Amino acid sequence: METFHNQVIGDGGFVEWLPRSPDLTPLDFLWGYSKGQVYATPPPTLQDLRRRITDTCASVTPAMLHNVQREIQTRVQMCIVTNGEHFEQYK
């Protein structure tokens, strides 16, 4: 607020947020996989891009989702242990 002289654009006003808060969003874990599959080569057409996205979503296995669930549980536990403070997720 001091830096920007109370000129903050936001929905509902100022909200304090940790500068490096842990990422606990499950879909972010699948983004790397999806991005790698969809953009392995540049899609030549919008139709091809849509097909790749659909195929990639269909290729997500129950085992992959289980790994996402396990990783989320690990990160949530780390967040609890640090009382919501920043933590290193990969040591």
Claim: this prediction has a pTM higher than 0.85: no
Cα–Cα distance between 83 and 3 in angstroms, integer? 27
pLDDT band at 83, cuts 50/70/90? Answer: confident
Mean pLDDT of 21-49: 84
Asked whether residue 91 carries a pLDDT value surpassing 60, the answer given is no
Backbone angles phi, psi at 20, to 5 degrees: -135, 60
Q: Cα–chain-centroid distance for residue 65?
A: 14
pLDDT digit string (tens) for 38-75?
A: 999 999 999 999 999 999 999 999 999 998 888 888 88
Cα–Cα distance between 59 and 62 in angstroms, integer? 10
The token pair at 8 is: 């903050």
Identify which has the larger pLDDT, 82 or 25.
82
Cα–Cα distance between 72 and 55 in angstroms, integer? 25
pLDDT band at 10, cuts 50/70/90? Answer: low
